[in-house]
Every structure is written in C-alpha cells, then in structure tokens.
Amino acid sequence: MIIRVSPQWQVTIPKAFRRDFGITREAEARMFRGALMLRPILFTSTGRLLERYGQEGITAEVLATALDIVGRRRRAEAEEASGQP
C-alpha cells in the first residue's frame, strides 16, 4: 500500500492497518534496512500498567522488571537488525 507523506513529514496510518495496529497515542519508530518500522505502545507508564494489572495482584516491582526485560530484548533486536554491536 502506498501512503502519502505530508510536507511536514507526517504520515497517516491507513484505515486498513488501524485495527491491527491497535488503539494507541504513541508508537516506537525505527529504521530497518531502509524501511520505517512502527510498533504501537499500548501502555506508556508503570502507573497505567498498575491500573490495569494491579487488580490481578501484580506489583510495581514485577512490572518494572518485566518492562526492563522487554526493553533489553527490543534494544538487542534493534542492534542486531542494524548490524551495530
């Protein structure tokens, strides 16, 4: 699918992709082999995560650890994809 890039370098997520992309206000962006990759950020803070998962007994410490693990994995994937050590 071809999408338009505005003069201000803005792009609009086409309706055909929105359902799969999810409802979000932020996305992680990176370049991969000349392609712009976007990953939706569904929760932006541990506070919002606690609102959602605290009711299930998950603590802030567990959430912080999980976010750290996910962050390290994503950084490692990005480094591997870009060929940087």
Say whether pLDDT at 7 is over 90.
yes
What does pTM read for this prediction?
0.48
* Residue 11 φ/ψ region, left for φ over 0, alpha for ψ in the -120 to 50 degree band, beta for the rest: beta
pLDDT in tens, 38-71: 888 776 667 777 887 888 888 888 888 888 888 8
Q: What does the pLDDT read at residue 28?
A: 84
Domain boundaries, the chain: 43-85
Element (H, E) at 3: none
Under 8 Å between Cβ of 46 and 63: yes
| 30 has a pLDDT exceeding 80 | yes
Average pLDDT, the chain: 83
Q: Please answer whether residues 67 and 46 qualify as being in contact, where contact means their C-beta atoms are separated by less than 8 angstroms.
A: yes
